[in-house]
Amino acid sequence: MPDTIYERFITTRQATETICKPLATEDYSVQPNPDVSPPKWHLAHSTWFFEQFVSREFDSEYKVYSEDFAYLFNSYYNNAGERVLRPNRGLMTRPTVEQVLNYRNYVTEAVKKLMVKNTSPELLELIEVGINHEQQHQELLVYDIKYILGNQPTFPVYNGAFTQQKEGQNDGWINIQEGVYTIGHQGNDFCFDNELGVHKVYLHNAQISSKLVTNAEYIEFIEAGGYEDFNLWHAEGWDFVKKNELKAPLYWHKVNNEWHYYDFSGLSKIAPELPVMHVSYYEAFAFAEWKKMRLPTEFEWEIAADELNWGHVWEWTGSAYLPYPNFTKAAGALGEYNGKFMVSLHVLRGASIGTAEGHSRKTYRNFFHPSSRWQFAGIRLAK
């Protein structure tokens, strides 16, 4: 990572805006479901983060852009009681996109100026957090844009970015030897609090597949009646399948009796050789059951990572998202960052084609609810 933090700050701020470029103004403000945030919100919230934790804290001359914005785009509504109306992300047509872009610009310039004057490690550390926070939002932005466009009956094209590419996958299995291993992030480069607490785990003999499950294999599962056989599913997963009448991954549609899917190039026939994406943990689990295998744990994954060709899709693991031994929350508002989600979610490891450059590492612990399907998630088997 040869770039200076100053350069990376600028690159990151620009990258967020670049992701939004292909959108129409109308696309910025809708929220099709509670998990999806409007693109405008991501643009503003990642800005608010710098304003709140960098400019307000470190820049005595900083003038708040707008108290309204500060109120509308933070995620911590718990103190917001004295306002007349609570913001509702998916109905917030004002401020407009243009106003939000002005806000972005204002804060970006302020932080740039500040970085010239002040190079204290405390400031740089917070800017590093802000960059990583914004990179996380970049990936969510990609997911959310796909969800918004992919639910238009006209299946509009975005552009060629963030679509899967063919790449060779080797058949084969990586062996893990029984024994004690060390887990967690080491070294001084940036990581999130949930990766810290380096600790030991005991692993048993296991094998992890070198390759990801493909669309072709997943279609076999569908055609073998995978979505109709409750023996393959968790009880909760089966309820989810029945309630939502699931028959395939998200974005898949049967057109003229052939499976198609929506991606950023529009609706097209499914490419059989590509890794399957947009499955929930329930589906990943049921697929593994059908194969009479299982998903790797996050620890197996981390130990095998160097031998895996990862980065294409996030990979569901069999591990629940829990604190590492000696996990401690950061102090203050930043402490809400990860710990409060450590119940009911599952860990995904790896990275995806939607992950920001320089934002992936083998100790990264991503996490989603077992029912989530809009993130770029796929399946790797273990046994």
Closer to a second copy by CB, 259 or 376: give it: 259
**Part in contact with a second copy (CB under 8 A); list of ranges 5-13, 48-56, 81-89, 357-365:** 81-89
Structure tokens at 90: 């998916």
Helices within the chain (DSSP H only): 5-20, 39-50, 56-58, 67-72, 97-117, 121-150, 215-223, 235-244, 281-290, 298-304
Closer to a second copy by CB, 72 or 127: give it: 72
Q: Which of residues 304-343 bind a second copy (CB under 8 A)?
A: 318-320, 322-323, 325-326, 335-336, 340-343
Among 3, 7, 17, 68, binds a second copy (CB under 8 A): 68
Q: Is there binding between residue 196 and a second copy (CB under 8 A)?
A: no
Cα 371 versus chain centre, distance: 14
Among 6, 71, 173, 190, binds a second copy (CB under 8 A): 71
Inter-CA distances, 352 with 241, 293, 345, 349, Å: 25, 24, 19, 10
Contact partners, residue 84, CB within 8 Å, separation at least 6: none
Q: Which of residues 5-34 bind a second copy (CB under 8 A)?
A: 24-30, 32
Q: In a 10 Å sphere around its CB, with 0-12 CB exposed, 13-18 middle and 19+ buried, how is residue 6 labelled?
A: middle
Angle, CA of 138, 143 and 146, to the nearest 5°:
125
Among 22, 90, 266, 311, binds a second copy (CB under 8 A): 90
Considering the complex, what minimum distance in angstroms separates the CB of residue 127 from a second copy?
25
Among 49, 53, 233, 367, binds a second copy (CB under 8 A): 233
- Which amino acid does the sequence have at 279? V
Paired strand residues for 180: 202
266 neighbors 319 (Cβ within 8 angstroms): no
Q: Which of residues 142-171 bind a second copy (CB under 8 A)?
A: 148-149, 151-156
Considering the complex, what minimum distance in angstroms separates the CB of residue 198 from a second copy?
11
Tell me if residue 34 falls in helix, strand or coil. Answer: coil
* CA neighbours closer than 13 Å in the CB half-sphere of residue 243: 7
Among 3, 57, 91, 117, binds a second copy (CB under 8 A): 91
Pairing of strands 173-176, 206-212: antiparallel
Closer to a second copy by CB, 272 or 325: give it: 325
Q: Which of residues 273-302 bind a second copy (CB under 8 A)?
A: 281-282, 285, 294
Closer to a second copy by CB, 322 or 353: give it: 322
Considering the complex, what minimum distance in angstroms separates the CB of residue 173 from a second copy?
17
